[in-house]
Amino acid sequence: MKRDVRVVSAIPPRASRSEDYADYLNVPRLMTVLVRDQQTGEYNAPHAHRHGQILYASSGTMRAMTEDGLWFLPPRRALWIPPGMVHDQLMLSPVNLRSLYIEPEVAQGFGQRCKVVEVSVMLRELILALADQPIEYAQEGRNTHIVGLILHEIETARSLPLQIPWPTDRRLLMVCNGILDHPEQPHSVEYWADRVGASPRTLIRLFLKETGLTFRHWVQQVRLATALDRLEQGQALGAVARELGYASPSAFSAMFRRVMGESPRAFLSRE
């Protein structure tokens, strides 16, 4: 991941709405919502915020990355990013970005590591309601309750084990990018070792050292994230299982239940 972190200067907010994070830096509010619509392929270069952030798209799918991992974020999922964490964003489709910025003293309660949180219908509607307000919204009455409820929903939201740890070794990066591009391919460690000029034993060691996962479990994480995206887009479970190389829908469901703690159908029916 690139190291050139963009520095944002402090500019006081002057508009009721803005697509520039600089206009949110010193707003005297516990929480603000940046509203921005972006197109497929748009890329937000590595940067960091003084705020804690709930990176959320009310429609569309984006990919976010830090030095620790990679995440796919459709509307049912958001990424918690602690203050100061360098990250980027790639739009995988047209995206309606509705990103929450939370003051650091409040953000401390949500943890110092990135995590995927499930976005309930209530949390989604609360975020959209606050996004309809000016940057310096009135702090009494309805807005006070909205902010309090958003904080409660984030605190109680279910975390999902969907991180794809990302390596730094050049050879392993080639392997991981290849798997990410074609997660359905059943290539072995031996296949990838031959492609990158390393021994299978070296790749096995590198996967554990740099991602904390075995080769098999890393591929499983990629396939799980890919499968969730496809299922949430309405593709049939059987087709998704087949396209990702599982012997049967039941084999895919067994993997899903083992990792997620419930069946694909139960997960998709949650609100």
Domain ranges of the chain: 21-160, 164-268
Q: What is the DSSP letter of 147?
A: H
- At 252, list the tokens: 């895919």
pLDDT of residue 3 exceeding 70, the answer is: no
pLDDT of residue 271: 57
pLDDT of residue 229: 85
Q: Which residue has the tokens 């990355």?
A: 65
pLDDT of residue 18: 86
Q: Is residue 165 classed as helix, strand or coil in its secondary structure?
A: strand
**Backbone dihedral region for residue 70 (phi beyond 0: left; psi -120 to 50: alpha; all else: beta):** beta
pLDDT of residue 269 exceeding 90, the answer is: no
Contact 184, 244 (CB under 8 A): yes
- pLDDT 10s digits, 73-122: 988 899 999 999 999 999 999 999 999 999 999 999 999 999 999 999 99
Question: Alpha-carbon dihedral of residues 23, 25, 29, 34, nearest 10 degrees?
Answer: 50
Q: Work out the average pLDDT over 190-202.
A: 95
For the 21-160 domain, the top CATH level (class) is: mainly beta
- At 95, list the tokens: 């995206």
- The reply to whether CATH 3.30.465.10 applies to domain 164-268 is no
pLDDT of residue 135 exceeding 70, the answer is: yes
